[in-house]
Amino acid sequence: MKSLNRSPVPRWLGEAGLMMVSNQEPLIFRRRRGGTSVDVEERYEREHTEEFVLRAKEAGATICITHCHKGFGTEAEREEMEKARELARLCHRHGLRVGTYIRPDTLVYETFLAQEPRAVNWWQVTAEGRRHTYGAGQYFRYLPCLNREAYMEYLEGVVRYAVVEIGADLIHFDDLNLVQEPDSCHCDACRVKFREYLRAKYPDERARKERFGHGVLDHIEPPHFLNFRSGAGQLYRHFPTIDDPLLQEWIAFRCRYVSEAYGRLAGLIRSLNPETAVEYNATYSGITGMNTAFSHGLWHPQSAIYGNVFWTEEGNEAGVTPEGVLISKIRTFKVARALSNAVFSYTRSVDALTELRLRAECFAYNPGANGGAPSQDAAPEVRRYTDFYREHWDEFRDTETVADAAVLRSYASLAHNNYTTHRAVILAEQTLIQAKIGFEVVFDEHLTELSSSDRRVWVLADVESMSDEQAEVITRFVKEGGRAIATEETSLYDPWRRRRGRFALADLFGISTPGETIRPVLRPYGGGKVVYIPRLIPRADSPDGAWFNSPYWRLPENWEALVMAVHWVTEGDLAADVRAPLTVTAELVRQPATDRMMLHLVNYQNSQPVPGIKVSLRLPEGKRAKAVAALSPDSDASGDLSFQEEGGRVNFALPWLRTYAMAVVSLATA
């Protein structure tokens, strides 16, 4: 699959998987925030010693994220920035990479204004002129606007110090995102730049009238939500869909200027040192069912393409709820993989079984990073997992997903709808995850390269907003031999969410509008096949309709209809057939450099080990299986496996799965 990423990959990122330790909070912030211990300074000093570095190395850490700029200003933080530089030298001396923490979204006005009086004009302000603070409790932290050129220039100075003086191997931008609606910034800079954006996008009277009904842009103001002061939940319930053309453009504008800010900073970093990796935490950068384009100006294919790693704080802790819902970060990891990023996610837990699941999930779906190094009092089985990650890095590195399906996450459908389209794509993904059908996440940009040589089944789960050009590409794809599955209102609207009289894909579906059928439609079309499913029926729905988050990720009532559709369009020829409970997931990858396939298996209900898992894998054309072996940090699950070949497939069984196992198939020329 074509990579959308625009960032070079530092060579060192391939040396070992990322596992971090962190002392990212400077002493000045720990004290100003409050709630510390009487020995806070002593603890802080210990975090800058050689003993700290050696202990981190011993625990398996490969990178230390240390403080650089929390927002007090370079003058107020100068002493601690120098301390970070000395720590970086200690880390490098002992072979530990260094990431530096830069907070771009908050400034502590108490100290910052003494250094930079111009910052009184940098704050984000709401439509009613209220300054933004960081949460309710930290009133001393104002939020600056990334549209203020003077602030961006200041931030670039901080970046130069981190790269040149500290010698950072990675720059960590914490919370590079925008204030959540309904409190978006309406400062003078945002208002002026929004109008400039509209003028550039709609340069003539005719285009403006088609979009807005009139051609006057000089007096346009960003949309406001002054009638929705009860918070985001009420706002999303009031806007189940986003049909207002100006609000649609405001969403696109906010996504663009976050991405441009990240791209600008990433470009500076690489101009200073091409071997410095770039990473951001956008707070809501995980896939959770929230419309983050609307809420925070975050659309991954626009922003993450400028970096190598992003951070997720989404929650969605790996496991199975008492209601039987399999919770995971698999969607987030697949989005990252599609954009050539690794993900920093939290893998520590006070419960050993939970921590094993979190680390196993990263093994399978996020091989480039495994969260934090284990704590000093970590259980022995947890240390076996982190040791396994280090010892078997050669099995985790440089792999490619072997996918039978491609799930389209399309901008217009997800940015202009706060609920139903998110629900549909999540339920489709949940079905593929639990049915163990390998898939990749794809975006609109991938449609430009779509051809019948793509043997993946394109899953269009309520992709309601689609351009005529996109519909033509998909129709041609199927006609020339491709396979597609669509649900609900796919293609009923154009990208501005204007309803069509019939599906743009009506000829493909064989029906014109929703409601013409209550049963799936299975159709050969030209040289390909297509299935239309009227609806993926949720077993549970968010009672307030705000967003479709993880408590509602139960398999849809008709999940088997989607599985049957995949089998029908592929004639049952799937890359992996894994016979295991619905609480076990599977991810098949290939490592071209070593001519091996790896099948990752994760038991999300690891309090109940699974015996006797039968596996059948499709062999690449012209290849045969030379050997099959099981690898696992679970003590009783490793060893060579007997196998049989039949009909271009290799068949074997894993005798036991506690939490995680990897089946390694070594290939040879047939």
> 385, 358 in Cβ contact below 8 A?
no
> 257, 147 in Cβ contact below 8 A?
yes
> 596, 666 in Cβ contact below 8 A?
yes
**475 φ/ψ angles, rounded to the nearest 5 degrees:** -60, -45
> 167, 92 in Cβ contact below 8 A?
yes
Q: Of 35, 27, 106, 8, give the one whose Cα is nearest residue 67.
A: 27
Determine the average pLDDT of the residues in 263-268: 98
Copy the structure tokens of residue 83. 């301390």
pLDDT tens, position by position, 66-124? 999 999 999 999 999 999 999 999 999 999 999 999 999 999 999 999 999 999 999 99
Spatial neighbors of 91 by CB under 8 A, at least 6 apart, are 53, 64, 97, 98
> 575, 588 in Cβ contact below 8 A?
yes
> 36, 30 in Cβ contact below 8 A?
yes
β-pair partners for 408: 442
Antiparallel, parallel or unpaired: β 63-69 and 18-23: parallel
Determine the average pLDDT of the residues in 264-276: 98
pLDDT of residue 503: 99
pLDDT confidence band for 136 (50 / 70 / 90): confident
Q: Of 141, 137, 104, 111, give the one whose Cα is nearest residue 35.
A: 137
Q: Which CATH number is 405-570's, of 3.50.50.60, 3.90.79.10, 1.10.3720.10, 3.40.50.880?
A: 3.40.50.880
pLDDT tens, position by position, 380-439? 999 999 999 999 999 999 999 999 999 999 999 999 999 999 999 999 999 999 999 999
pLDDT confidence band for 603 (50 / 70 / 90): very high
> What is the Cα–Cα distance from 523 to 530, expressed in whole angstroms?
5
SS3 269: helix
> 115, 74 in Cβ contact below 8 A?
yes
DSSP output for 322-358: TT-PEE-SHHHHHHHHHTT-EEE-----SSHHHHHHH
**661 φ/ψ angles, rounded to the nearest 5 degrees:** -150, 150
> 59, 98 in Cβ contact below 8 A?
no
Quick check: 233 pLDDT over 70? no
Measured CA to CA in angstroms, residue 149 lies from 70, 153, 154, 155, 303 at distances of 20, 6, 9, 10, 19
Q: Which CATH number is 576-669's, of 3.30.1330.20, 3.30.70.20, 3.90.1150.10, 2.60.40.1180?
A: 2.60.40.1180
Q: Of 618, 533, 519, 518, give the one whose Cα is nearest residue 569.
A: 533
pLDDT confidence band for 2 (50 / 70 / 90): confident
User: With pLDDT > 90 as the criterion, what percentage of the chain qualifies?
Assistant: 92
pLDDT confidence band for 635 (50 / 70 / 90): confident
H or E stretch covering 601: strand 596-603
Inter-residue long-range contacts of 467-472, CB under 8 Å, 24+ positions, other chains counted: 467/494, 467/495, 468/494, 468/504, 470/444, 471/504, 471/505
> What is the Cα–Cα distance from 646 to 664, expressed in whole angstroms?
18
Quick check: 229 pLDDT over 90? no
Q: Of 347, 389, 391, 348, give the one whose Cα is nearest residue 368.
A: 389
pLDDT confidence band for 232 (50 / 70 / 90): low
Measured CA to CA in angstroms, residue 197 lies from 203, 245, 296, 478, 581 at distances of 10, 14, 18, 37, 51
> What is the Cα–Cα distance from 147 to 149, expressed in whole angstroms?
6
> 485, 531 in Cβ contact below 8 A?
yes
Copy the structure tokens of residue 289. 């069912």
Residue spans of the domains in the chain: they are 405-570, 576-669
> What is the Cα–Cα distance from 68 to 152, expressed in whole angstroms?
17
> What is the Cα–Cα distance from 37 to 39, expressed in whole angstroms?
5
Inter-residue long-range contacts of 288-291, CB under 8 Å, 24+ positions, other chains counted: 288/314, 288/315, 288/316, 288/547, 288/549, 288/550, 289/422, 289/423, 289/426, 289/547, 289/548, 289/549, 289/550, 289/552, 290/422, 290/547, 290/549, 291/236, 291/414, 291/415, 291/417, 291/418, 291/422, 291/547
Q: At what angle do helices 352-365 and 380-391 cross, to 10 degrees?
A: 10
pLDDT tens, position by position, 55-65? 999 999 999 99
Angle at 581 between CA 579 and CA 582, to 5 degrees: 115
Mean pLDDT in the chain?
96
Q: How far apart are the first and last CA of the chain?
A: 26
Angle at 368 between CA 285 and CA 84, to 5 degrees: 75
pLDDT of residue 377: 87
pLDDT of residue 547: 87
Measured CA to CA in angstroms, residue 477 lies from 451, 487, 505 at distances of 5, 18, 12
Q: Give the count of beta carbons closer than 10 Å to the beta carbon of residue 77.
A: 26
pLDDT of residue 560: 99
> What is the Cα–Cα distance from 192 to 119, expressed in whole angstroms?
18
pLDDT tens, position by position, 448-460? 989 999 999 999 9
